[in-house]
Amino acid sequence: MKSLKPTKYIINPPYENNNPIKFTKQALEYLEPNGKLIIIMPRTTLKNNLNETKQILKNAKLDFIIKMPEKLFREQSRTVNTAIFGFTKTKHQPQDRTIFYTLKDDGLVNIQHKGRVDKFNKWQSIKNEIMDIIISSQEKYQKRILDDDRNLDLIGVRDTKDDEITLGEIFNFEKGSLASEASQDGEYTFITASEDFKTHTNATHNCEALIYAVGTGGSLGRCHYFNGKFIASNLCLILTPKNKDEIEMKFYAKYLNMLIEQIVEDLADGAAKPTIKENELKKYKIKSINKDKQK
């Protein structure tokens, strides 16, 4: 293959056995300098193979990531959420920017015996918008993925003059303990991912806390504030302040709820039942806000 001196590859590899990252590395090896690779693979491929990704970026620039609509592909009877990754075979520099775009709807509908069809003639305008974003490199979709020290951040390095801090620097994290359907008539508050609180006969905590939903689809990212005796669902994380004197918990409940859409888009993993991993949430960066401004 290398003897053909390819300058372009478009690949849809099999998704099992870590094949996507293998195909990515192989294709880039065969490509001529400044050649282009477009490959569709699970959204988390690069994140789940950080060492290989760092090696790839020494030889290839990541031009764009287009998140595809959910439940578009199935592999071995399970849904796989995918993205299209675009590379150029030249070293990715810290100042290089990657386009991040989420295609929530491609306009196609499923029709029995025909598959996905452009029944309402939406695709052409959607395609034109995507092409315009990629070709013109629209700034609002761009982020750096390497900082000045070549540390990799696949969510994107934010260009901001504001100080940032990770949630793990602000809060202690603890997993809830009770199945969401295990409510009982009782005197203590049982907090799940749903909007309304339940009750239970036992309490595990007596404190001021945020209860953050990380394991349930429609309510993913919802943040509850509570102060008192409670027990939390095992689909939630319990966040308590590391320094009570620096944190207004009610403020952070509102702040995190304002960021739901962005956090879920950045961190949600999985297909049929997307989740947010505790370690990923701990590393998530938000604007650092002093106590006076929190009030």
**Do 121 and 234 reside in the same domain of the chain?**
no
How many structural domains is the chain composed of? 2
**Do 109 and 26 reside in the same domain of the chain?**
yes
Supply the pLDDT for residue 74: 62
Around Cβ 69, how many Cβ atoms within 10 Å?
16
* Residue whose C-alpha is closest to residue 64's, from 132, 127, 150, 137: 137
Structural domain that includes position 81: 2-157
Helix residue ranges per DSSP H, the chain: 19-30, 50-56, 123-136, 167-170, 249-258, 260-267, 278-282, 291-294
**Do 126 and 18 reside in the same domain of the chain?**
yes
| Intervals of the chain under pLDDT 50 | none
pTM, full prediction: 0.78
CATH number at residue 59: 3.40.50.150
Supply the pLDDT for residue 38: 98
Q: What percent of the chain has pLDDT over 90?
A: 64
pLDDT digits (tens, 9 = 90+) for 96-130: 999 999 998 999 988 888 888 999 999 999 999 99
